[in-house]
Amino acid sequence: MTLETVVQAILEKGKSEAGEILQQARAERERILADVRAEGGKSIEEEERRAHEAAARRRVQELARGELEARKIVLAAQKEALDRVYERTLVRLGELKENAEFLQRLLKANEAEWRAGGQVYSNAKDEAAVRRIVGERYAGRVECAGGVVMETADGTRRVDLRYESILRDVWNDSVREVAETLWPSKSSKA
């Protein structure tokens, strides 16, 4: 074997080994790239899943926030309507043609409070009617829609029978029923 043949054999063997190394390196590169692609795909899928979950949570939160805001608006409108009904009722109570009869009944039912030296107060509009009933026990005017305020002779007790007080007590006891009548709930419709 000549030197040239030996060199040629070594070169061919080197080329062959280099080709194998390159082929193994390419195969390793493809395997690594496939792993990276798979991991990247998994990461993208995981990020997409997280993004979808976050978007769904945000959507639910926004819907809940919107429903709450709508409920607040409805409740505010209902309260405003109830307040208007209350105010109109109070005005109408003071304007009833049976007002003098009501005053007489209130005073008669509570006669013990004012007969024995007590005092009676009313609004300016009802003054004449109240004076006719209580005479000298009439003590003056109070700002109210109607009704009377009575005070015992020793001033230790006041009985507030103004229409405002009576309506407030009745209103507080029945406002839920009034609201249910005006705006039936879903459970009462069934």
> Structural domain tally of the chain?
2
Tokens representing residue 164 in the block: 């405002």
* Sign of CA pseudo-dihedral 143, 148, 152, 157: negative
Overall average pLDDT of the 1-18 stretch:
83
The answer on 111 and 171 residing in a single domain is: yes
The answer on 143 and 70 residing in a single domain is: no
How many contiguous H segments (helices) and E segments (strands) does the chain have? 6, 4
Overall average pLDDT of the 6-35 stretch:
87
The answer on 105 and 89 residing in a single domain is: no
CATH number of 169's domain: 3.30.2320.30
Helix pair 127-134, 99-109: axis angle to 10 deg: 40
Instruction: Give me the residue label for tokens 């507030």.
Output: 160
Give the predicted TM-score (pTM) of the model.
Answer: 0.60
| Res 186: pLDDT | 66
User: Over 90: is that where the pLDDT of 61 sits?
Assistant: yes
Q: Which of 62, 94, 126 is the last residue of a domain?
A: 94
Cβ atoms of 121 and 141 within 8 Å: the answer is: yes
| Residue 44 domain flag | yes
Tokens representing residue 110 in the block: 């509570």
| Residue 189 domain flag | no
Residue span of the structural domain in which 50 resides: 1-94
Q: Which of 57, 74, 94 is the last residue of a domain?
A: 94
The per-residue pLDDT for range 137-164, each reduced to its tens digit, is: 999 999 999 999 999 888 888 999 999 9
The answer on 102 and 50 residing in a single domain is: no
| Residue 46 domain flag | yes
| Res 9: pLDDT | 84
Q: Which of 29, 59, 94 is the last residue of a domain?
A: 94
| Res 1: pLDDT | 64
The answer on 63 and 32 residing in a single domain is: yes
